[in-house]
Structure 1
Amino acid sequence: MDDTLYGKRDKRGNWTPNKKLQRSPIFVWPAQPLKFLRWFLGYPGYLWPWNAGYFAASLIVWLYLTPSLETMREFHAQWISLILARNAALTVALYGGFHLVLYVMRRQQTKFKYNAKWPDVDNPTFMFGNQNAENIFWTMCSAVPIWTAVEAVTWWLYANGYLPYVDFAEHPVYFVALLILVPAWRELHFYLIHRLIHMGPLYHWVHKLHHNNVNPGPWSGLSMHPVEHFLYFTGVVTHFVVPSHPLHSMFQLMHAGLSPAKSHVGFDKMVVDGDRMIDTDNYYHYLHHKYFEVNYGEKRIPLDEWFGTFHDGSPESDEVMARRIKAKKYTRGGSA
């Protein structure tokens, strides 16, 4: 597979796709119904393959790997430990799987890899001087426990009847519509907390840890400060207000817990065999790690376009970004 058919490499060996980033065909005028349907139902698109995969995992986990609500009416170490072990196993399987294939075995070397370098192994910026070691530490020792704690509280609230509940049999259309909207709400929530933790002291105290990963890999996805982990997983709180089924909350939590592996994988495409590839669709967020002050959200809701922080990877976007940062310095009383 020749990655130069799909992009180009600079003198440093860094790869960029030929295709510019474009917003999803939702917030466009005039409306484009056929294009929207192709995006919504097609492959790759809104549903397939990633969101459908996260939902399938959520359904299996809810049906077979989660204690009954009756069991979770009282907090007990036994059932909470089971959820902790399950979340840890899923994390190791997915994040570790991406890492094993792409970064340990290096099955495709640097084909479709945005940054030609591999993760740092001797850099004092990182705990233990090793990027992957730090990423794994924060993922397993902070992200997974906090994810589990938020999940345990959620099930306890459902089990005791404290949350508004909706059943598929009674409201099938609403039930399915809410499932479809979960990834979009995840994106909106992510944008809001992401902008928050990019502000002044919060960035330096909290979010800077995540941004040490200028060249992210799969384990970078959940390598965050515990405060950021808590804010990140609170997206499920919307189901404390909006009538929902526990499956909606499970989808919300699983999407939050699993999707960062793909969005930080560092490769535009994963080569399966010969000419077969899987599009990871993570260039948008990679540019955020590269430039820090662009692409705070994702493509589905064009918030970055609306607020002037969109970057499509082009030289024109570089110029817009430079002017915006320069203007910000002047506004703060800095120098050019």
Structure 2
Amino acid sequence: MDDLKFGKRNKRGDWSPNAPLEVAPFWTWPPKFLSLLKWIPEYLFPWNAFHLATTMLYWYFVIPDREVMVNLNWGWALWLYAVNAAAIFAFYGSIELIFYVKRKQGNRFKYNAKFPSEQPSDVFWFKSQNIDNFLRSFFISIPLWTLVEVLFLWVFANGWVPWLSWADHPVYLCILILLCPAIHEVHFFCIHWLIHQEPLYKWIHSVHHNSVNPSPWSSLSMHPIEGFLYHAVAFWHLVIPSNPIVALFQLHAAGFGAVNGHIGFDKLEITENTPLDSHAYTHYLHHKYFEVNYGGDGLIPLDKWLGTWHDGTKEGDIRMEARFERKKARVNAKASGTN
């Protein structure tokens, strides 16, 4: 597949799409109904449908009975960790194997033309981004994912929060599932912006940003505090009247969905003529520029409302540089005033 039909390359060989990033179409005025009709299936398929499918598989084949979850014990907690780790190894690992190890499509549609294995650095354990990211994922973030999972299932099982039944509240729970990505985006923006502020960035978030050229294993490579806060999005369903299946979907959209922003490719060539959109560009620009696109794809466009949105265009570069200059001027003014 010719990626230059969809985008362009710079002198370093880095690829970027022709089309600018856009927020969800229902935020535009006047309304663009055709854009909205096109957006709806893209919102549902394939990624949210995949997360819902994994949720249902977990609920029927992995999650213990309610009677078991009433009591905290290592047995079912370790079982959930083992399944989570195996699932991430299979899902992330297959993407890593096909597109980064075997390099099935070379660097077609790859934002950064280089691969992490070509860029050893002292900031990583063993000077390897892949080894560092893999170990942090499986020994820090996935255990914290499991901790969040165990805690909300335990709370639901004990009846300490409402466990709404599908029989009594089918419409409400279906709407809540549709709103889960919006909850994720708001939660992610808030914690993400917070840990970008000093000294939290240096202490916490810099671990994740060591991966300037992210790959699948970068997705869950986090400091423990960030790893817990990121997956704690599922705890909103202990505040909102909900159901553990919905909370589990919320968790899967975070855990499995983290790979979307770190795939590194705009499209994955499933077959010669069948590309799969990754929706990775928004977050790739965040890894590239650090202080833009703190949220997601613009489902809830907090970045646009607060002036940190970058749509991948030259105009986006100009707006970003102007904001950086204003920030620099404020810092200089404050420093001169202090002195």
Residue 327 of structure 1 corresponds to which residue in structure 2?
A: 326
* 1:29 match: 29
Aligned residue number for residue 178 of structure 2: 180
Equivalent positions of 1:87-98 (< 5 A) are: 87-98=84-95
Q: Structure 2 matches for 1:93-242, cutoff 5 A?
A: 93-120=90-117, 121-242=119-240
* Counterpart AA for 1:190: F
Higher mean Cα deviation, 61-70 or 104-113?
Answer: 61-70
List 4+ stretches of structure 1 deviating above 4 A: none
Q: Which residue of 1 aligns with 2:82?
A: 85
Deviations 1:175-229 (A, max 9, x none): 1001111111111100110011011100000000101111000010110100001
Which secondary structure state, in structure 2, belongs to the residue aligned with residue 333 of structure 1? helix
**Shift in Å, 1:34:** 4.2
Per the TM alignment, residue 91 of structure 1 is displaced from its structure 2 partner at its CA by 0.8
Q: Deviations over 1:259-309 (max 9, x none)?
A: 111220000000112111111011011000000011111221111111111
**Any gaps of 5 or more consecutive residues in structure 2?**
none
CA distance in 1, matches of 2:305, 2:260: 26
The residue type paired with residue 31 of structure 1 is: P
Looking at secondary structure, tell me which structure has more helix per residue: 2
| Structure 1 residue 36 displacement after superposition | 1.9
Letter of the 2:307 partner, please give it. G
Q: Give the Cα separation in 2 of the matches to 1:46 and 1:330.
A: 40
The 2-side partners of 1:29 and 1:315 are apart by 23
What is the percent sequence identity of the aligned residues? 45
Distance in 2 between residues matched to 1:118 and 1:33, nearest whole Å? 40
CA-based RMSD: 1.2
- The alpha carbon displacement at 1:155 in A equals 0.9
Provide the C-alpha distance between the structure 1 equivalents of 2:252 and 2:60, rounded to a whole number of angstroms. 14
* Rounded Cα–Cα distance in structure 1 between residues aligned with 2:280 and 2:113: 16
The counterpart of 2:73, out of the listed 68, 76, 81, is 76
Alignment of 1:11-22 (within 5 A): 11-22=11-22
What is the TM-score when the length of structure 1 is the normalising length? 0.96
Deviations 1:63-111 (A, max 9, x none): 1111111111111111111101010011101111110010001000100
CA distance in 1, matches of 2:260, 2:95: 8
> Conserved in 2, the CA contact under 8 Å of 1:164 and 1:241?
no
| Partners of 1:198 and 1:252 in 2: CA distance | 24
Taking structure 2 as the reference length, what is the TM-score of the superposition? 0.96
In the alignment, residue 57 of structure 1 is paired with which amino acid?
Answer: T
- 1:241-280 aligned at under 5 Å gives the runs 241-280=239-278
Aligned-partner SS, 1:70: helix
Question: What is the alpha-carbon distance in structure 1 between the residues aligned to residue 108 and residue 24 of structure 2?
Answer: 26
Letter in 1 for 2:38: R
| SS state at 1:332 partner | helix
Contact 1:98 1:261 in 2 (8 A): no
Distance across 1 between alignment mates of 2:262 and 2:67: 37
Q: Secondary structure at the match of 2:256?
A: helix
